[in-house]
């Protein structure tokens, strides 16, 4: 009789442990998600590319693969289309002088060449944007060795513009907050130039980028003009804090609509 009672008690405890473990796992699955970053590793990939460059489509394709592979991790991709290829037969409609200027600034800081496709990781390392092994290695190194400064972001769409609220504790006078409006995916049929006749697919295209000096304010609102044919599912906001002297990116976050 004692043995029977003991066996029953053990079974009851085991069942209670099983139920508790199940509830814990369910709570983990349903925990709410925050739009702010945590203090752990992150990787910001800034690709400088162009529709007029025949070497760029493999890099663009790689960014799409990385976006899918790391969609649940703090990996942030920004594709800047530069304008210095435009005089060679095809004008890239996503290109801008501002994007080319940002690449030139990196060249000065990192003592590197200006070329496409060029990838900058966390503002510290440059490499060929289509070199998959090198890119993957750089991402893993960044995720393990960086410390993500916290940025809180929220976005609201109105009839004519996008309003982005931001907040951070970083107030170093050498730091700036870059808030970027990004189109997740689109494509172009190229009719002239080195990629004549090709259907090119692009990921994470930079459309507008606002700079905020953090020495003036660590919280506030910045605005973007609403793009034509705007679809909330295909756009997002990426924010990043950068030391303008060293080029190092100290933290990043993103928010969808």
pTM of the predicted model as reported, rounded to 2 decimal places: 0.84
**Number of other CB atoms surrounding residue 247 within 10 Å:** 17
Per-residue confidence (pLDDT) for residue 31, from 0 to 100: 35
Structural domains of the chain, with CATH: 43-256 (2.60.40.10)
Per-residue confidence (pLDDT) for residue 102, from 0 to 100: 98
Distance (Å, whole) CA 196 – CA 125 = 32
* Closest by Cα among 248, 31, 25, 225 to 145: 248
Q: Phi/psi at 102 (nearest 5 deg)?
A: -65, -40
Per-residue confidence (pLDDT) for residue 33, from 0 to 100: 38
Are residues 90 and 84 in contact, defined by beta-carbon separation less than 8 angstroms?
A: no
Per-residue confidence (pLDDT) for residue 172, from 0 to 100: 87
Distance (Å, whole) CA 151 – CA 42 = 13
Distance (Å, whole) CA 94 – CA 90 = 12
CA of 19: how far to CAs of 8, 27, 28, 62, 154, in Å? 17, 12, 14, 44, 37
Q: Which ranges of the chain have pLDDT less than 50?
A: 1-39
Integer-rounded Cα radius of gyration of the chain? 23
Per-residue confidence (pLDDT) for residue 169, from 0 to 100: 87
- Longest CA–CA span in the chain (Å) reads 93
Per-residue confidence (pLDDT) for residue 29, from 0 to 100: 37
Does the CA dihedral 58-148-231-71 come out positive or negative? Answer: positive
Q: 51-87 pLDDT, tens per residue?
A: 999 999 999 999 999 999 999 999 999 999 999 999 9
**Both tokens assigned to 191:** 């009719």
Q: Which residues pair with 46 in a beta bridge?
A: 78, 120
């Amino acid at each position: 009789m004692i043995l029977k009672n003991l066996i029953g008690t053990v079974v009851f405890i085991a069942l209670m442990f099983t139920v508790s473990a199940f509830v814990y796992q369910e709570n983990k699955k349903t925990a709410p998600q925050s739009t702010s970053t945590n203090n752990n590793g992150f990787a910001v990939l800034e690709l400088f590319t162009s529709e007029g460059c025949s070497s760029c489509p493999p890099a663009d394709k790689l960014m799409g693969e990385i976006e899918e592979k790391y969609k649940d991790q703090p990996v942030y991709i920004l594709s800047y289309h530069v304008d210095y290829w435009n005089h060679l037969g095809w004008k890239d409609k996503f290109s801008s002088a501002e994007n080319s200027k940002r690449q030139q600034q990196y060249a000065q800081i990192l003592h590197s060449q200006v070329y496409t496709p060029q990838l900058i990781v966390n503002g510290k390392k440059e490499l060929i944007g289509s070199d998959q092994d090198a890119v993957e290695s750089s991402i893993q190194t960044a995720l393990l060795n960086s410390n993500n400064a916290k940025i809180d972001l929220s976005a609201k769409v109105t009839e004519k513009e996008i309003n982005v609220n931001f907040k951070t504790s970083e107030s170093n006078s050498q730091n700036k907050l870059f808030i970027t409006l990004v189109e997740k995916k689109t494509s172009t049929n190229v009719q002239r130039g080195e990629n004549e006749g090709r259907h090119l697919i692009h990921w994470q295209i930079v459309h507008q980028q606002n700079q905020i000096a953090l020495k003036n304010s660590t919280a506030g609102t910045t605005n973007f003009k609403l793009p034509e044919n705007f679809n909330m599912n295909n756009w997002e906001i990426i924010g990043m804090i950068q030391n303008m002297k060293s080029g190092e990116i100290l933290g990043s976050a993103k928010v969808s609509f």
